[in-house]
Structure 1
Amino acid sequence: MGAHIAFLTIPAAGHLNPTLPLVAELVRRGHRVSYATGAAFRSAVLATGAEFVELDWAPQAVKVSPAGQTTAELGEMLTGFVRIARRVIPAIEQWLETDRPDLFCYDMMTFIGPMVAAKLGLLEATTVANLATNEHFDFRREMAPADFDPRHPKFQQFMTERAAFAADFGVPVEKVVATGAVAGLNLVFVPREFQVAGETFDERFRFVGPAVGARVETADWEPPADGRPLLFVSLGTVVNDRPDFFTACAKAFGGTNWHVAMAIGDQVDPAVLGAAPANFDVRRSFPQPAVLAHAAAFLTHAGMNSVMEALLYQVPMATFPQTPEQHANARRVAELGLGRSLPDLDPESLREVVDGVAADPSIVEQLEVMAGHLHRAGGPVAAADAVEAYLATPGAGRGGGTRGG
């Protein structure tokens, strides 16, 4: 008889999408999966065969100044996390108490997860859609803005609301908005070879690599028929309000030999960008895996999903990170010889970096090596194997697993 496995993930594509192939694999093996997140991801969750548990949790807007995230912007974002947690915790607790799972699997960035698991005595695991944290590498240190000042009023407001939340819910204050929870099982969606200090992570961490699923219908997109090399440009789904970036790309690559597929997201008004060059295909979004399968270069924000998909399809990267997390990913891409970062938005610099990564044989070589690591990591099959082994471990225990009435 299959187990009941409950998932909880913040309503952000970069954190939720990597879990969906795992969920589908667990369902295929006969397990019952319930999945709680925001309403925007209902159809994606239901498509895996899981039961959807809707939370009053909308994707949170993330503000990032062109020069990089500021202390004020970080403080506002963290305060938002605390306020959202207050709103959704009662529904999460009711769901898990009514339909107690054998395993509670929460996103590493979802600090609510370990709080609720401890309160209800649930067997817990984490999913990690970014670089993992241990005593040798603390990913949280990568998240601080360059101008970080804990005395800033916006950050002090976060600290005040954090302390009040901890007091109200009876948890240590350091557990509130604390990323990097380490459970008995931690499923990391990058290969160990990409992880910073990967050799230092113990058996609690399973580096299963990415599991790419189709997220957007592909019927309305085809690769260029004229044989020109394809450049894919995207700043992801969260921080993409950068008309200056998209305008610079048009100036840099308009009239060149590149066929440019440019995803501008849902925050930029296309009218602001003006008429696109003839060699550009500009849309709100593209079916990213399908485009990368044909791309010769990828101009990317370096979100981890995008980085892993580029590695899977062995596409050289030119990175233009927007958030501290993306800057950490971009540094790792450069360290491993998989791409280069843009120094600025000067059109000549853009062309130089993109043309350079596309033509660099050492990058091509390193991409091939890393793609091999990705495939050997095992993806959703390896992750599901790890979950089943964890559930079967003597002493792991079961949470009950029977559906509540």
Structure 2
Amino acid sequence: MGEHIAFLTIPAAGHLNPTLPLVAELVRRGHRVSYATGPAYRSAVEAAGATFVDLDWVPRPVKRSPGGQTTADLGAMLTGFIRASRPVMPVIERWLRDDRPDLFCYDMMTFIGPMMADQLGLPEAATVANFATNEHFDLTPSLVPADFDPGHPAFQEFLAERAAFASDFGVPLEKVAAAGAVAPLNLVFIPREFQIAGETFDERFHFVGPAIGARIPTADWEPPGSPLLFVSLGTAVNDRPDFFAACTEAFAGTEWKVAMAIGDQVDLASLGELPPNFDVRPYFPQPEVLAHADTFLTHAGMNSVMESLLHQVPMATYPQTPEQQANARRVTDLNLGQQLPGLTPSSLRSVVAAIADDPAIRKGLSGMHAHLSAAGGPSRAADAVEAQLAR
């Protein structure tokens, strides 16, 4: 009988989806896996073979001001995360005490994981779905907006909420909302070659790359032909009817077949009559679409970037948060795509056409795909987990 491995991930597709192929591989090897997250992800977790631990964890939608994320947006997001964490704390503690795991794997972006590992004395590991942080490279500056003002009332509200949380649960203040802590084992779902300052990361970090595996069920989809443009702003910061309207105007009546995912915050009716070359839905089965896509117009969330690289699809990036800005810069720097300069129909069409035909981008995609293939994926990640268990 294998060991018990417990996973805790914030209820966000970009953080949860990369862990599921690893969960499936651990289950295949005979380990018992329990997985705690929000209720929307029960079916995906169970499809990977884990026992689902239901948390009343439904973070508020992440908002972005039209000109980009502001200090007010950041403060509201952080405050919302602290408040959403309160009701799940007793359930998480009870789960880990009653069914003590041999290894506790938590998402690097939640402070609850290292806090609980410290309080209960659990062997721990972190899953990292974005850029990793170490003593030489700090992700934190990439997570704050350009206009960051620590004295802004919205950020001060977050600081007060954080202090109240620490006091109520009896933990040091620095343990709350401190994303990016380095665990004894860190499973990073990108290749080292994509990581900023990748050469500075030591043996605690395993850059295993992404993998296609169990995903949240979505509607069936048939490829409409070529050339295919896939448009998506992901599942979190996608309340951008102006963006989707601009895409509709830019590519209506062109040779492009457009699959456009608008999320669940935009009213489809607000886009008016859709051109016949458009298929617009809240969500698509993203890996399947990317397997047929010629270009990807994306927010540059890390999960989307990695899935695009798996299929060697050039990216036109339109980031919505500072974290996505860092991803988009890396895409440009490594010749994997270009960032949109604006939302005019001409700029949309010109960037999409340019990246589809750019030999330098095709070469960059081919090289990065080789690094992804060599990273090892779920098998290497499971090897690292088993090595940690054996210590």
Check whether TM > 0.5.
Answer: yes
Q: Which amino acid aligns with 2:232?
A: S
Q: Which amino acid aligns with 1:123?
A: P
Q: Which amino acid aligns with 1:56?
A: D
Aligned to 1:299: 297
Residues 73 and 101 of structure 1: is their aligned pair in 2 closer, same or farther, counting only changes over 3 Å?
A: same
Q: Deviations over 1:124-158 (max 9, x none)?
A: 00000000001211111101111111111111111
Q: Which amino acid aligns with 2:321?
A: T
- Is the aligned partner of 1:61 residue 2:61? yes
Aligned to 1:327: 325
Helix, strand or coil at the partner of 2:280: strand
Aligned to 2:166: 166
Asked whether the equivalents of residues 129 and 188 of structure 1 are also in contact (C-alpha less than 8 Å), the reply is yes
**Whole-Å separation in 1 of the counterparts to 2:314 and 2:215:** 22
Asked whether the equivalents of residues 229 and 259 of structure 1 are also in contact (C-alpha less than 8 Å), the reply is yes
* Larger deviation, residues 82-91 vs 192-201: 82-91
**Whole-Å separation in 2 of the counterparts to 1:74 and 1:137:** 22
Asked whether the equivalents of residues 218 and 290 of structure 1 are also in contact (C-alpha less than 8 Å), the reply is no
Structure 1, unaligned runs of 5 or more: 394-405
**Whole-Å separation in 2 of the counterparts to 1:248 and 1:359:** 22
Q: Which amino acid aligns with 2:247?
A: C
- Deviation for aligned residue 1:212: 1.6
- Is the aligned partner of 1:253 residue 2:251? yes
Aligned to 1:42: 42
Aligned to 2:276: 278
* Larger deviation, residues 154-163 vs 360-369: 154-163
Aligned to 1:375: 373
Aligned to 1:392: 390
With normalisation by structure 1, the TM-score equals 0.95
Asked whether the equivalents of residues 44 and 214 of structure 2 are also in contact (C-alpha less than 8 Å), the reply is no
Asked whether the equivalents of residues 214 and 289 of structure 1 are also in contact (C-alpha less than 8 Å), the reply is no
Q: Deviations over 1:36-77 (max 9, x none)?
A: 111111111111111111011114310111211111111111
- Deviation for aligned residue 1:286: 1.0
Aligned to 2:135: 135
Cα root mean square deviation, aligned: 1.2
Aligned to 2:235: 237
- What are the residue-to-residue correspondences of 1:60-209 with 2, within 5 Å? 60-209=60-209
**Whole-Å separation in 2 of the counterparts to 1:170 and 1:360:** 56
Q: Which amino acid aligns with 2:366?
A: E
Q: Which amino acid aligns with 1:390?
A: Q
**Whole-Å separation in 2 of the counterparts to 1:265 and 1:168:** 36
Aligned to 1:31: 31
Residues 388 and 120 of structure 1: is their aligned pair in 2 closer, same or farther, counting only changes over 3 Å?
A: same
Helix, strand or coil at the partner of 1:34: strand
Aligned length: 391
Residues 291 and 347 of structure 1: is their aligned pair in 2 closer, same or farther, counting only changes over 3 Å?
A: same
**Whole-Å separation in 2 of the counterparts to 1:217 and 1:36:** 18
**Whole-Å separation in 2 of the counterparts to 1:347 and 1:16:** 34
- Deviation for aligned residue 1:218: 7.2
Q: Deviations over 1:188-215 (max 9, x none)?
A: 0000000000000000000000022253
Residues 220 and 81 of structure 1: is their aligned pair in 2 closer, same or farther, counting only changes over 3 Å?
A: closer
**Whole-Å separation in 2 of the counterparts to 1:180 and 1:319:** 25
Q: Which amino acid aligns with 1:284?
A: P
Helix, strand or coil at the partner of 1:318: strand
**Whole-Å separation in 1 of the counterparts to 2:138 and 2:378:** 26
**Whole-Å separation in 2 of the counterparts to 1:144 and 1:256:** 38
**Whole-Å separation in 1 of the counterparts to 2:241 and 2:220:** 25
Asked whether the equivalents of residues 253 and 277 of structure 2 are also in contact (C-alpha less than 8 Å), the reply is yes
Q: Which amino acid aligns with 1:307?
A: V
Residues 254 and 214 of structure 1: is their aligned pair in 2 closer, same or farther, counting only changes over 3 Å?
A: farther
With normalisation by structure 2, the TM-score equals 0.98
- Is the aligned partner of 1:289 residue 2:257? no
- Deviation for aligned residue 1:89: 1.0
Asked whether the equivalents of residues 318 and 357 of structure 1 are also in contact (C-alpha less than 8 Å), the reply is yes
Q: Once superposed, which parts of structure 1, at least 4 consecutive aligned residues long, lie more than 4 Å away?
A: 216-219
Aligned to 1:311: 309
Aligned to 1:15: 15
- Deviation for aligned residue 1:15: 0.4
Q: Which amino acid aligns with 1:353?
A: V
**Whole-Å separation in 1 of the counterparts to 2:41 and 2:185:** 25
- Deviation for aligned residue 1:374: 0.5
**Whole-Å separation in 2 of the counterparts to 1:218 and 1:161:** 36
Asked whether the equivalents of residues 5 and 101 of structure 2 are also in contact (C-alpha less than 8 Å), the reply is yes
Helix, strand or coil at the partner of 2:57: coil
Q: Which amino acid aligns with 1:350?
A: L
Aligned to 1:264: 262
Asked whether the equivalents of residues 125 and 186 of structure 1 are also in contact (C-alpha less than 8 Å), the reply is yes
Counterpart selection for 2:347 from 336, 346, 349 = 349
